Structures are given as structure tokens and as C-alpha cells.
Amino acid sequence: MEKTVSDAIAYRRSVRIYKDEPIAIEKVKSCLKNAVLAPTSSNLQLWEFYHISNKKVLQDLAAACFDQNAAKTAQQLVVIVVRKDLWRQRAKANLNFLKKAFDRPDLEPRLLKRKKIVLNYYDKLIPFTYFDFLGIFGMLKYLMFQIVGLFRPIYRQARRSDMRIVAHKSAGLAAQNFMISMAAIGYDTCPMEGSDTLRVKRILKIPNSAEINMVIGCGIRSEKGVYGPRFRVPFEETYKAVT
């Protein structure tokens, strides 16, 4: 029986040593299907998920992850990849979907107005936001938005570095969906940022324009898999109520 959301969140720990016990590829794949349901900026879904079960590739990736136990003992690995370079294709996919969704002759005025807004969003605003050339256009947009922002609220994150952050945030949300889903079925994970990302990309034949968000070890925790009790800064120090 699967755990509740709260139970799965409480169960999830960063497990660094796994039992030498296989886990089901299809179950991990099902958890990755939950990953793609995560919220994502502008619904662009600028991510890919590499699910590795090949023993030789697992060994190569473990070496690229500096032979961390979480990679070396993992039964499978999942690599979360950011594909900001695919924004044109993903925007077009959204545009085509919305055109079909609104392709009705009997649209009421409210929906006609919404249709115009969302089609303009993906056809004009997304290209304006994501297009850049050597960082120059992004900086010009950033300066322009700062000036406009003196007079009214405006979106200010327009530089190439800002858009990278946006894409990585979305990928991180997908990764959390995946890890909680794994915890719900009694599987364990460990998100790793420590890796030679260039080697990871070469091993998996990932384009240079893509970026590695994290590598996630997957398996069933051993008795020594969790290194210590959970520590969190007291909730009262991080909770700020605005009433």
C-alpha cells in the first residue's frame, strides 16, 4: 500500500548506501511519469529524464560522481537534465495544443479573449523573453525592464542567467515529485549535485547545450544508508506569517 503524501515526505531521506537488491524498472519509470506533472514555468517543460539501469553505464556515472556511495551502490540512476535550448520546440507544442483546444466556432467572448491572450503569449511573449544573443539582448531587456519598473510592476528576470534559474527551478520541482513518488512506494533516493557534469553529458551523449540539474541515486536503503538523524532549522526561524 502506498504511503500518504505526508508519510512519503517524512519517509524520504537522502540515502547514501543501498542494499544489493534490484528495484523494478517499471516502478521507477512510473515515478518519473509523476515527475512530468510537476509545475513548470510557462508550461515549457524544459527538462529530460535519463533513467539508467545498464550496469556499465552505472559504473561510468558513479566514477563521474566521484564514486560517492549514493552513486556507487545505487541500483539505478536518474539524471535530471535542463533543456533551456528547447524553448522554441516546447513553446510551439504549447501553441499547437492551445490552437486545437480553442478550435471551436461557438466560443463565447470570454474565451475568445483568453484565446487571444494565450496565443500571443506563446507566439510573441515567450520568444521575446527567451531569445538572446551572446547575452547582449538579455542585458538590454533587463535594463529596459528596470526603467519601466520605476513606474509600474514588471517582470525583471530577463537575462540569460535569469532564464537558466527559471529552467533549473522547474527541473528541481520535477525531481522532488519523483523522489516523493519513490518514497511513497518504499524506494529510496539521493539527489547529488557533486558530479563532473561534462563527463556525465559525454557518457549519456547529452548535447552540450543541455545542463545537468542533478543525478539521483535509486534503490532500497541499507541499515547504514541514512548517515544520521534528520536535522532541520527550527520551523519558527523560517516561517514568516504576514497577517
Domain boundaries, the chain: 5-86+166-238
Q: Is the model's pTM score more than 0.85? A: yes
- CATH 3.30.565.10 is right for the domain spanning 5-86+166-238: no
DSSP string, 176-242: HHHHHHHHHTT-EEEEE--S-HHHHHHHHT--TTSEEEEEEEEE-B-TTSS-S------HHHH----
Average pLDDT, the chain: 95
Percent of the chain scoring above 90 in pLDDT: 83
Q: Is the pLDDT of residue 102 over 90?
A: yes
Q: Check residue 29 and give its pLDDT.
A: 98
Q: Check residue 106 and give its pLDDT.
A: 86
Q: Check residue 104 and give its pLDDT.
A: 86
Q: How far apart are CA 71 and CA 67, in angstroms?
A: 6
Average pLDDT over residues 123-139: 88
Q: Check residue 154 and give its pLDDT.
A: 83
Angle, helices 197-204/55-64, rounded to nearest 10 degrees: 160
Q: Is the pLDDT of residue 210 over 80?
A: yes
- From the list 169, 171, 189, the residue with the least C-alpha distance to 179 is 189
Assign 134 a pLDDT band (cuts: 50, 70, 90).
confident
Q: What tens digit of pLDDT does each residue of 168-195 get?
A: 999 999 999 999 999 999 999 999 999 9
Q: Check residue 158 and give its pLDDT.
A: 81
Q: What tens digit of pLDDT does each residue of 35-77 get?
A: 999 999 999 999 999 999 999 999 999 999 999 999 999 999 9
Assign 138 a pLDDT band (cuts: 50, 70, 90).
confident
